[in-house]
Structure 1
Amino acid sequence: MRQHDHEDFDVPDERPARRRAQAARRGRLAEPTRSGRLTEGERVRLAKLREDAYTEARLLPEGTDRWSTWDDAEHGPLPRPDWVVTELAAADTDLGVLKTGKEADVHLLRRGLPDTPGTLHAAKRYRSDEHKLFHRDAGYLEGRRMRRSRENRAMAQRSAFGRNLIAEQWAVAEFAALSRLWTIGAPVPYPVQRNGTELLLEFLGDDDGTAAPRLAQVRPEPDELEDLWSQATSALELLASEGLAHGDLSAYNVLLHRGKLVVIDLPQVVDVVANPGGLEFLARDVRNLAGWFHSRGLGEHVTKTDELLADLVSAAGLG
């Protein structure tokens, strides 16, 4: 994972042209780097930046919203699926919101070259300092310390700077967890890229943009229910073998896609060894998920949650 220096982001005259074009489309053109009167040379430089930004924005393919951010992003693990669009000439089109949440919104996004159908993605965008973030983040952030005392203080005080750091830290954590779990074959969406607080993920759904339903939305037949529980326990065991717990697992963050369960929403993934509350997070994941299966008619004699939890603790190396 790449390291970031959060204090070195605002150097406008060093932005590549594509970032300047994105800033122009959002109405944030290059601004002076200091207050007071501008020299004639500085005026000329800023005027040239604005002209370049508007020019590149006008060159976007019709109907698209931005150029592909692939070249500026952290990329997902190898081997990369063949549907991932890596060409820098590709453009992105935002097709609307798939899901809204307290910490992030998920948009449907199409990325492709001009005159091609493109590929659908889920673009998860974490909110930053304009919202109060992560009302339950204190427990999850145990064991995740940043190296700089200034950053730790800002996060603890929930200043605007600290909330921005938290937003990016959660995006980094989710991208890392998805990359790690996808590599070992866990049922998670492929993480295409991370660019700041935006994650671009594999879209799970139909070609027309209809997203796969959450497990909470489906009504499985009795014979299907037991198979789904088996899939769920396999996912839990795989996470535990990596020393991890989902941390907020329920039927609302598991999708059913073409008969297969896929685990989503992993920003709060917990290292059950490093986190003092790791065992409780693991137990809560089991209780929450088993509770949904029990409500659909699957008996405790099938779920055997006590035995399952003991197996997970052992797989995590804690028992």
Structure 2
Amino acid sequence: MKTPKRIQPLVEEGLVDDVLRQLMSGKEATVYVVRCGEEIRCAKVYKEANQRSFHQAASYQEGRKVKNSRQARAMEKGTRYGRKMQEEAWQNAEVDALYRLAAAGVRVPKPYICFEGVLLMDLVTDAAGNAAPRLNDVELSEAQALDYHAQLLQQVVLMLCAGVIHGDLSEFNILVDAEGPVIIDLPQAIDAASNTEAAVLLERDVANLASYFGRFAPQLNHTQYGKEMWALYTAGLLRTDTALTGRVAAEKRPANVGAVLHEIQLARREEEDRQRSQQEM
């Protein structure tokens, strides 16, 4: 196929030899199957901010550190340069998370380089060598659902022990290769220790898993693995081999009004950023 404009710089640099086909297009990026020498990999081309349908960037950017003080100030002010830096930080977050998680034993694609807004990484394949299907496209028995759910809970525990929370985990960003589930799409990954939304995002990730697999194994629908993980993590008791029960003691503390107001503030800030971006286009 014709080389997409965004991948052309990788071809010119000798990082990609041929673009074979488009694999998928999502809310954050379009993914292509590419040939790099004798290897078949995939190239994830990130969409521009005004083309993405992922609208919760403010929650995910909290706690991300920028070494350059000028860049940090520009990002805070929302200048054109600052938005460019935010885009680079958004993309680099996935590369950093992939390296960090792979080192922790989490099943994620191996990254190679992020160049000009294109992430080059391993192509996840099934037993026949074809591109692995998304979890959402795989028919499951009750036994398979319970097995995959257990595998993914272990992956989430490994991630949390490494200080990372996916932030948008669902059946749509999990692939199934010959050995089981592989977690993908991590530009919204957050640092568990520095983001005030960490508990909420972790519990939502785990609840999404229970909701999906609960279609095949209803006994998962009322589990509370996310709350249990977070309670163990904040107490310093979570280990990679911790046996989870899916149950937690009833919460007796009053509602956290401050957390609710913080969420409203983040949503308002993001809407202001969106409107400012539209005005400057």
TM-score of Structure 1 vs Structure 2, range by shorter chain: 0.7 to 0.9
Per-residue Cα deviation, 1:137-165 (whole angstroms, up to 9, x for no partner)? 00000011434554345434554433322
Match of 1:47? none
Residue 100 (structure 2) pairs with residue 180 (structure 1):
yes
Picking from 36, 57, 68, the partner of 2:14 is 68
Contact 2:207 2:226 in 1 (8 A): no
Structure 1 unpaired stretches of 5+: 1-22, 29-63, 70-90, 113-117
One-letter identity of the residue aligned with 2:223: T
Contact 1:241 1:316 in 2 (8 A): no
One-letter identity of the residue aligned with 2:136: A
Match of 2:119? 199
SS in structure 2 of the partner of residue 204 of structure 1: coil
Distance 2:49 2:101 in 1: 29
Q: 1:207 to 1:187 in 2, by over 3 A?
A: closer
Distance 2:234 2:164 in 1: 7
Deviation at 1:183, TM superposition (A): 1.3
Contact 1:245 1:270 in 2 (8 A): yes
Contact 2:141 2:216 in 1 (8 A): no
Picking from 139, 147, 163, the partner of 1:219 is 139
Contact 2:203 2:226 in 1 (8 A): no
Q: 1:299 to 1:206 in 2, by over 3 A?
A: closer
Cα RMSD of the aligned pairs, angstroms, is 2.9
Per-residue Cα deviation, 1:7-65 (whole angstroms, up to 9, x for no partner)? xxxxxxxxxxxxxxxx9x96x9xxxxxxxxxxxxxxxxxxxxxxxxxxxxxxxxxxx95
Per-residue Cα deviation, 1:117-152 (whole angstroms, up to 9, x for no partner)? x21111112234674685210000001143455434
TM-score calculated relative to the size of structure 1: 0.64
Distance 1:247 1:158 in 2: 23
Contact 1:226 1:298 in 2 (8 A): no
Match of 2:198? 278
Identity among equivalent positions (%) equals 33
SS in structure 1 of the partner of residue 214 of structure 2: helix
Contact 1:215 1:252 in 2 (8 A): yes
Deviation at 1:242, TM superposition (A): 1.3
Match of 1:120? 40
SS in structure 2 of the partner of residue 219 of structure 1: coil
Deviation at 1:285, TM superposition (A): 0.6
Match of 2:266? none
Q: How does 1:101-112 map to 2 (within 5 A)?
A: 101-112=26-37
Distance 1:108 1:317 in 2: 43
Distance 2:164 2:99 in 1: 14
Match of 2:18? 93
Match of 1:246? 166
Contact 2:146 2:217 in 1 (8 A): no
Q: 1:272 to 1:173 in 2, by over 3 A?
A: same
Distance 2:184 2:132 in 1: 12
Q: Matched residue pairs, number?
A: 232
Question: Which 10-residue stretch deviates more, 276-285 or 139-148?
Answer: 139-148
SS in structure 1 of the partner of residue 27 of structure 2: coil
Match of 2:256? none
Per-residue Cα deviation, 1:173-226 (whole angstroms, up to 9, x for no partner)? 111110011112111111122224221111012699842111111111222111
Contact 1:174 1:267 in 2 (8 A): yes
Distance 1:210 1:182 in 2: 22
Q: How does 1:165-176 map to 2 (within 5 A)?
A: 165-176=85-96
Structure 2 unpaired stretches of 5+: 238-281
Deviation at 1:311, TM superposition (A): 3.0
Distance 2:149 2:50 in 1: 40
Match of 1:311? 229
Distance 1:207 1:229 in 2: 20
Distance 2:234 2:174 in 1: 22
One-letter identity of the residue aligned with 1:105: T
Deviation at 1:318, TM superposition (A): 6.0
Match of 1:33? none
